[in-house]
Structure formats: structure tokens, C-alpha cells
Amino acid sequence: MVYFAVIMQDYERVVAYHCQHEAYEEALAVLARHRDPQLFYKFSPILIRHIPRQLVDAWIEMGSRLDARQLIPALVNYSQGGEAQQVSQAIRYMEFCVNVLGETEQAIHNYLLSLYARGQPASLLAYLEQAGASPHRVHYDLKYALRLCAEHGHHRACVHVYKVLELYEEAVDLALQVDVDLAKQCADLPEEDEELRKKLWLKIARHVVQEEEDVQTAMACLASCPLLKIEDVLPFFPDFVTIDHFKEAICSSLKAYNHHIQELQREMEEATASAQRIRRDLQELRGRYGTVEPQDKCATCDFPLLNRPFYLFLCGHMFHADCLLQAVRPGLPAYKQARLEELQRKLGAAPPPTKGSARAKEAEGGAAAVGPSREQLKADLDELVAAECVYCGELMIRSIDRPFIDPQRYEEEHLSWL
């Protein structure tokens, strides 16, 4: 029957026959010779219970032809006994899949973690550290790994998973139960969050003082973290501790405060001097004036300046009021142009002031009660139009990409030169 099954290439029947007669090595030889993945998946649960080492060797020889996820059920059933040999064979194949084949499937990495947690705790921490500290690059389930390590009491591995999850407070709390130096490493991880770092170091200092009652180690913590000061740590010490233990720390803290006070005094002196200079400049600005000669002309229209109301800027440019208005208007935003038109309309509707007339003053008083006075309207208009010189201010800088000749008038200007 076996001979006929081989001729018909019915190798499944051949392997089943050998397994029924407990000829497991012969069954494995048939599997290894014909290298059919489906036959490996079907008969591996039987063979692994009797010849685990030889079967794992065959799996490794098959390499990437086998899907490791299909073999996990056979490994789980085999390693449930928890014996060292059973767990070691399962770990051997999983390590081959991860390290040699480069498997990234989460199920494979999670199963390898569970095997490490049960049989090889030292390899568990090494695997976690080798996987890295970036939560986006690890191939195992972080929450599953944390639960697994906690169930088996592997605290150092739990601390590492907490660090990958960026749960630094939990990492420090658990690390303090294992090793203070490990807690210090965790406390320095949030480099960009100084407030959290200080909080973590305070946890370490409190633990060292209250649980271990070690003053020297507490002073070492104070020296290790520049964010901590002696006044942060003092409340943790008992009342009977003498000041000799803190003499150097208190002196260094007082020196730091003294240096900080001197810096503040220097900054205050600089601010006072700056305020005096600003005050002196303002007084000089109030007294500044300009002289207008009869022959001076408007910088825009080139007509005599004194013929109409004008503006004189500190830079020396002079403009008629209407010429300045025409020059400024195109460069203003839409909302400022609307405000300019509104001020012009209100200013045109306001009654002109009459000197020495009580009736005019009464009229202005009544207008002020209803709306802004004429002087206020003119001040608002000046602030909008004459805040800076149109030739020397920001408006000229913003118009640097504007052509000298308006494109709509280019042809007319071009013909005028012919």
C-alpha cells in the first residue's frame, strides 16, 4: 500500500501510515524529501510531540517556504507542558523566524514574547531592548507585552515597555521597586518636558529619603538633576537631620540665588536706562520742527506748497493734503480705504469752526455729544494718511513690484513719447 501510494504521489497517506505505526522519523523523512508546506502544517502537531528537535530542524531547513503563523498552533500545544526542552525548541524556531527570516508579523513576536516570559526571562529584556524604544517600530503588541511581563513579575521588562509607551511616571514608580539607577535613567527621558522631569526626580528623591533613609544618595540625586534645588528636597527629610548634610548644597543654592539677583539688578538698570533714553527721545520729538520756504513745492504735483493745505514729514518730503491722499489711497487695504472714505464724508458734513463765536462752540458741543468732533475726525484722518511718508515708509517698500507706468495707461504714455 505504501509502495502504491508513493507511485501515485499520495504522500499524505504515506506520512499518515508512518505516524499510525509510530515511525515518526520515517514520516519526517518523507516530509523533508518532498517539502510540501501543507503536509508540514497537517502533521506537525503530531510529530512535535515525539521528535521536536528533528522537526524544528526540518522547519528551519524549509526556511521561508513555511508560514510560521500556520505552525504556531502546533508549538502552543507542544509547549503547554512548560518543560524547559519544550519551550527551548519553540523559542529556537521563533528566533529563527525573527532574526533570520526577518518576520514582522505581530502574532509571531507576541508568541516569542510569551515564550521568553515563561522560559527565558533574561532573553526577554534583551529582545525588548533590541526591538528599540520607538512605539511605531516595534513589531509586538505593547499592551500585551506589558500585561505579560506584569503577570510573570518581570519588573525590568515592564519598565522598558512603560518607557516605549512614554508612560514615564509609571516607569519611575516601578523602577524604584527594582533599582534607583534604573529610575534615574527613566527620569531623564522626557528631555523636552522640564516640568515632568522635575516631578520624576522629586519622586526619586522622596523615595531615597523616606524609604531608604539615605541622605548621601539624596544629595547625589540633587547633583544629578540641575532642575532640583535644595529647597525642593528639604521637606522630605525628617526634623532631626542636621544641617551639616546640606551645607554644600545650601551654599551653592545661595550663590545661585545671589547670581540671579545680580542679573535681575543689571536687567533693571538696563531697562531704566532704556526708559530714560526713550523719554529723552520723546521730548526731542516734541520739540522738532521744520521750516517751509516760499519756493518749496509739493513732491508729487510740483506746484507751490503754500497754495493749499500740506503735510511736512521729518524726512523732508512735503505734500499737498489732496496729493498725499491720492498717493496713499491705492496702497491701503480695502477696510482702510472704506474707513478713509467714511472720514472724508463725515468731515465734509461737519460744520466749519468759527473763531470767537459762542454759537459755533455750542454747535460743536452738541455735535460732540452726538458724534466725534471735527478735530477728532481730522486726527483720525491724519493717523490713517500721514502716519508715515509715502516715499520713505512701508508703503513704498510694499509697492516695489508695482510697475512705474500703469499697464492701462502704457499705450497712452508710449504714444506721448513718439
**Is 24 contained in some domain?**
no
What pLDDT does 221 receive?
A: 65
**pLDDT tens, position by position, 210-231:** 665 666 666 666 666 666 666 5
SS3 at position 9: coil
**Is 261 contained in some domain?**
no
SS3 at position 237: coil
**Is 337 contained in some domain?**
yes
**pLDDT band with cut points at 50, 70 and 90 for residue 409:** confident
Same domain, 401 and 332: yes
**pLDDT band with cut points at 50, 70 and 90 for residue 300:** confident
Q: How many domains does the chain have?
A: 2
**pLDDT tens, position by position, 102-115:** 888 999 999 999 88
Per-chain mean pLDDT for the chain:
81
- Residue that finishes a domain, picked among 198, 213, 237: 237
**Is 275 contained in some domain?**
no
What pLDDT does 231 receive?
A: 59
**Is 380 contained in some domain?**
yes
Name residue 23's amino acid: A
pLDDT > 60? residue 392? yes
- Residue that finishes a domain, picked among 222, 237, 252: 237
**pLDDT band with cut points at 50, 70 and 90 for residue 236:** low
Query: What's the rounded mean pLDDT across residues 346-367?
Result: 59
Owning domain of residue 335:
297-349+374-407
Task: Say which residue, 365 or 294, is predicted with more confidence.
Answer: 294
**Is 133 contained in some domain?**
no
pLDDT > 50? residue 2? yes
User: CB-based contacts of 69: which residues, under 8 Å, 6+ apart?
Assistant: 105, 107, 108
What pLDDT does 97 receive?
A: 92
**Is 206 contained in some domain?**
yes
| Closest of 132, 189, 181 to residue 161, by C-alpha | 132
pLDDT more than 90, % of the chain: 5
Task: Calculate the CA 71 to chain-centre distance.
Answer: 42
- Residue that finishes a domain, picked among 207, 237, 267: 237
pLDDT > 50? residue 369? no
CB 183 within 8 A of CB 176: yes
Cell of 130: 533590541
pLDDT > 60? residue 25? yes
**Is 218 contained in some domain?**
yes
**pLDDT tens, position by position, 30-66:** 888 888 889 888 988 888 888 889 989 999 998 888 8
**pLDDT tens, position by position, 145-191:** 999 998 988 899 999 999 898 888 898 888 888 888 888 888 878 87
pLDDT > 80? residue 365? no
Alpha-carbon span 43 to 74, nearest angstrom: 9
